[in-house]
């Protein structure tokens, strides 16, 4: 008797393994989770209050289209709410895009060190993932375009990229959009957009507004501190958003998450504090870690990729074990093809100072 069997594409998917969330620190040391790019400031107090108030009405289904949340997003970013779709994290928007536009025989392109979710959603939809090489751990527009074929239905671009922290300026993203076939969708994953301060960068609002084949995705999981509520959104052409709405679950965003998201958008002071904290500590960490002789990739996000030498006792895996024992949980990124790196999230002042001190101890060992 045969058993039910999933499609071959599903079995080709490597299960996504998130960063460690805990550590067995020796001597009872305080543990700092610096593995998931979560904000050290936590959610806005106004978001917490809104969530608590909303939970009192949790017996009722949420409004199915996330109308109030989309209106708040539209007001905050000067966007048409009708062209916004809300989801359980921006991950769900990526899944919906793949399910709606990728099928067997179709291809989706992403860069060499791009977010692992792109491969997952492409395979889940029955498509074939295509990897384009990067240059200096940065997406290369010419390489992405060289990978385009008649089968290309989607190009995913994380900008800024996770886990490297590198980015493409608006001029390069525009060049990519200009050269893509009109029937291929460019997905601009801007999960870390709020952290970027350089004027060369643009999250994708203009391109998604003006083009028929560009979609921008965003999240409340990072700078807004609502990762546990699973809330994200996408913005793009009306026809694409209509297709996504046809296949999303009827109540895919909880009323609690929606209420918290609206309040988070309204708390500009908390957002500003999170931006300022990162602007202070991201370069501080980069400079102090580089001063120890470790290579740090230039980052515009809220995290850094740190390269460790290929020497016995000094490799990334050795550093990971050393730091974990001291209550400092970083992210190993071997699954991204970067086994010599660890990714470090910008944390609180105490966490940042402790991780630099621990790295100095690790590097100084003989």
Where among 227, 249, 267 does a domain terminate? 267
Whether residues 114 and 177 share a domain: the answer is yes
pLDDT on residue 1: 57
Give every CB contact of residue 175 below 8 A, 6+ residues apart in sequence.
Answer: 141
Cis check for the bond before 163: say yes or no (omega within 30 of 0).
yes
pLDDT on residue 3: 81
Phi/psi class of residue 114: alpha, beta or left (left: φ > 0; alpha: ψ in -120 to 50)?
beta
pLDDT single digits (tens) 198-232: 999 999 999 999 999 999 999 999 999 999 999 99
Task: Examine residue 13 and state whether it is found in any structural domain, yes or no.
Answer: yes
pLDDT on residue 246: 97
Whether residues 205 and 337 share a domain: the answer is no
Question: What angle, 0 to 180 degrees and rounded to 10, lies between the N-to-C axes of helices 255-266 and 67-77?
Answer: 20
Residue 129 has φ and ψ, to the nearest 5°, of: -80, 135
pLDDT on residue 284: 98
Whether residues 63 and 167 share a domain: the answer is yes
pLDDT on residue 26: 60
Torsion sign (Cα): 94, 95, 100, 105: positive
Task: Examine residue 188 and state whether it is found in any structural domain, yes or no.
Answer: yes
Cis check for the bond before 80: say yes or no (omega within 30 of 0).
no
DSSP string, 14-68: PPP-PPP-----GGGPPPEE-SS---TT-S-HHHHHHHHHHHTTTTSPPPTT-HH
Whether residues 107 and 172 share a domain: the answer is yes
pLDDT on residue 317: 97
Give the separation between CA 251 and CA 261, rounded to whole angstroms. 16
pLDDT single digits (tens) 311-366: 999 999 999 999 999 999 999 999 999 999 999 999 999 999 999 999 999 998 75
Whether residues 245 and 113 share a domain: the answer is yes
Query: Order of strands across the sheet with 341-345?
Result: 295-296, 303-307, 341-345, 331-332
Q: Which residues pair with 226 in a beta bridge?
A: none
pTM above 0.85, yes or no: yes
Taking a C-beta distance cutoff of 8 angstroms, is the pair 259, 218 a contact?
A: no
Nearest Cα to 132, choosing from 124, 141, 144? Answer: 144
Range of the domain at 307: 8-42+269-364
Task: Examine residue 132 and state whether it is found in any structural domain, yes or no.
Answer: yes
Task: Examine residue 352 and state whether it is found in any structural domain, yes or no.
Answer: yes
pLDDT on residue 315: 97
Task: Examine residue 344 and state whether it is found in any structural domain, yes or no.
Answer: yes
Give the separation between CA 97 and CA 296, rounded to whole angstroms. 34
How many separate domains does the chain show? 2
Where among 222, 249, 267 does a domain terminate? 267
Nearest Cα to 127, choosing from 111, 154, 106, 156? Answer: 106
Give the separation between CA 163 and CA 320, rounded to whole angstroms. 16
DSSP structural state of residue 171: H
Where in the chain does DSSP place strands (E)?
32-33, 84-87, 107-111, 128-132, 152-158, 185-189, 214-219, 232-235, 295-296, 303-307, 328-329, 331-332, 341-345
Whether residues 148 and 234 share a domain: the answer is yes
Give the separation between CA 320 and CA 355, rounded to whole angstroms. 11
Whether residues 193 and 318 share a domain: the answer is no
Whether residues 20 and 87 share a domain: the answer is no
Task: Examine residue 1 and state whether it is found in any structural domain, yes or no.
Answer: no
Collect the ranges in the chain with pLDDT lower than 70: 1, 16-28, 366
Where among 228, 251, 267 does a domain terminate? 267
Task: Examine residue 281 and state whether it is found in any structural domain, yes or no.
Answer: yes
Q: What is the CATH number of the domain that holds 329?
A: 3.90.1150.10
Please classify residue 261 by burial: count the beta carbons closer than 10 Å to its beta carbon, then call 0-12 exposed, 13-18 middle and 19+ buried: buried
Q: What is the CATH number of the domain that holds 52?
A: 3.40.640.10
Give the separation between CA 238 and CA 261, rounded to whole angstroms. 23
pLDDT on residue 183: 97
Whether residues 188 and 288 share a domain: the answer is no
Whether residues 153 and 250 share a domain: the answer is yes
Whether residues 202 and 157 share a domain: the answer is yes
Task: Examine residue 3 and state whether it is found in any structural domain, yes or no.
Answer: no
Burial 46-70 (b: 16+ CB within 10 A, else e): bbbebbeebeeeeeeebeebbebbb
pLDDT on residue 9: 76
Whether residues 258 and 349 share a domain: the answer is no
């Amino acid at each position: 008797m045969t058993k039910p069997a999933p499609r071959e594409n599903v079995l080709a998917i490597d299960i996504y393994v998130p960063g460690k969330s805990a550590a067995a620190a020796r001597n009872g040391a305080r543990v700092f989770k610096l593995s998931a790019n979560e904000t050290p400031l936590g959610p806005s107090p106004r978001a917490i209050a809104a969530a608590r108030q909303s939970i009192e009405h949790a017996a009722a289904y949420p409004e199915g289209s996330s109308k109030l949340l989309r209106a708040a997003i539209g007001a905050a970013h000067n966007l048409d709410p009708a062209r916004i779709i809300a989801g359980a994290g921006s991950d769900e928007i990526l899944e919906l895009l793949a399910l709606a536009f990728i099928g067997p025989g179709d291809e989706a392109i992403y860069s060499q060190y791009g977010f692992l979710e792109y491969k997952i959603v492409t395979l889940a939809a029955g498509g074939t993932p295509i990897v384009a090489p990067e240059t200096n751990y940065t997406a290369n527009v010419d390489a992405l375009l060289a990978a385009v074929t008649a089968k290309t239905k989607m190009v995913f671009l994380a900008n800024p990229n996770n886990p490297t922290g590198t980015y493409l300026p608006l001029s390069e993203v525009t060049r990519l959009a200009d050269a893509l076939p009109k029937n291929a969708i460019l997905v601009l994953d801007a999960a870390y957009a709020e952290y970027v301060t350089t004027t060369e960068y643009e999250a994708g609002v203009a391109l998604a507004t003006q083009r028929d084949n560009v979609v921008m995705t965003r999240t409340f999981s990072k700078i807004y501190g609502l990762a546990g509520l699973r809330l994200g959104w996408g913005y793009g052409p009306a026809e694409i958003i209509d297709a996504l709405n046809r296949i999303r679950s009827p109540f895919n965003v909880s009323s609690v998450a929606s209420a918290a998201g609206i309040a988070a958008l309204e708390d500009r002071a908390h957002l500003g504090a999170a931006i300022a904290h990162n602007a202070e500590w991201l370069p501080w960490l980069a400079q102090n870690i580089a001063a120890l002789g470790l290579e740090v990739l230039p980052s515009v996000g809220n995290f850094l990729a740190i390269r460790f030498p290929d020497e016995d006792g000094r490799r990334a895996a050795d550093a990971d074990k050393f730091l974990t024992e001291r209550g400092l949980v970083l992210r190993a990124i071997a699954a991204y093809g970067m086994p010599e790196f660890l990714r470090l999230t910008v944390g609180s002042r105490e966490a940042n100072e402790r991780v630099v001190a621990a790295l100095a101890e690790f590097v100084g060992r003989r």
